[in-house]
Amino acid sequence: MQILQQPLRRPVYMLVAAIALAALLATVACGSAAQPEPPPAPTEATESSHTHAAGQQPQDTAASADAVAIHMAIVARASNLSRDDLQVKKGDNVSINFTADEEGEIHLHGYDLTAPVSPGSPGALNFVADTAGAFGINFHVFTSDSMKSDAAGSDNHHAADVPEQVISDAPVSVEISAEPDAEGGVDVQITTEGFRFAPDLVDQDHTPGAGHAHIYLDGEKLGRVFESEYHITVVPPGEHEIRVSLNTNNHSELVFGGEKVEATTTLNVPDVGQGHGDGDRETGHEGDGHDHDGHDHGEHKVVAEVHLGNLEVYP
């Protein structure tokens, strides 16, 4: 019996050992599946992807240009836009659209672009602002029937119920200075006390302490002024008088202390050959760049030239 039992125990032990080993392997396998693998350490690619997702995408080296549309209304030989409205960036695709109450031609100095404009027939200048600087926008007036008195320095364009003068209850004053520039123009600085320029209120009822200015060169009205700086693009060589008056929103003359609120200065403009160059566009100077006597206006005769502002192109 002893000899018979010995062979029988060995298979049982082997079977038990096999079952135990299988159970152990199953336990190890289940434990491994239940434990997630740790995330990989962040690499440069992973961090860069996160930055992009946060909205900080790297920009293309050749950034696309903006399309800028400017709408200028010319009424009574003055623009409705302020300096801030005429600022663009270099490389912008610019479209300047004009309407006017007189027939004439728009001229963008420096870029030397022109466009006809008349009542009921808007004009437009479309171009790429490829050069930085300040470039004058002038209106060459062809007809003057509606503005003869105004061009001569008179302001008899008020409605019947608008007074010629408005007396200010509070002190108000104006001072001006003028300096010739290198291109034959004149820079005018206007300093006011008790008065603010309000281009957004033009043609509306009088608001105390607010309005615009009228500027005159040798007694001829150049237009309205809506800020403290004004550039006259072309002034003939010699001595000239510049006068600036303060006016209400509805164009009445402003009076304080029994006198019109205005200032006058005289200056001598040197002969720098203005009107016969190409302008200094590379250095950002405004430049005239236009021979007015030689410009072909067809059958039209230019009776006045009005400075409407400067297009400022920033780098």
Q: What are phi and psi of 303, to 5 degrees?
A: -100, -15
Instruction: Report the pLDDT value the prediction gives residue 30, as an integer from 0 to 100.
Output: 45
Q: For the chain, report the end-to-end CA distance as a whole number of angstroms.
A: 110
CB 168 within 8 A of CB 252: no
Distance, CA of 256 to CA of 17 (rounded, Å): 117
Instruction: Report the pLDDT value the prediction gives residue 88, as an integer from 0 to 100.
Output: 94
Per-residue pLDDT of the chain (315 residues; tens, 9 = 90+): 444 445 445 555 566 566 666 655 555 444 444 444 555 554 443 333 333 333 333 344 344 578 999 999 999 889 999 989 999 999 999 999 999 999 999 999 878 899 999 999 999 999 999 888 778 898 988 854 433 334 333 444 455 567 888 999 999 999 999 999 888 888 999 999 999 998 878 778 888 999 989 889 998 887 778 888 888 877 889 999 999 999 998 889 999 999 999 999 999 999 876 543 333 333 233 333 333 333 556 566 777 778 899 898 888
Instruction: Report the pLDDT value the prediction gives residue 48, as an integer from 0 to 100.
Output: 34
Cβ neighbourhood burial of 103 (10 Å; 0-12, 13-18, 19+): middle
Domain ranges of the chain: 67-314
Task: Specify the CATH number for 67-314; select among 3.40.50.300, 3.60.130.10, 3.90.1200.10, 2.60.40.10.
Answer: 2.60.40.10
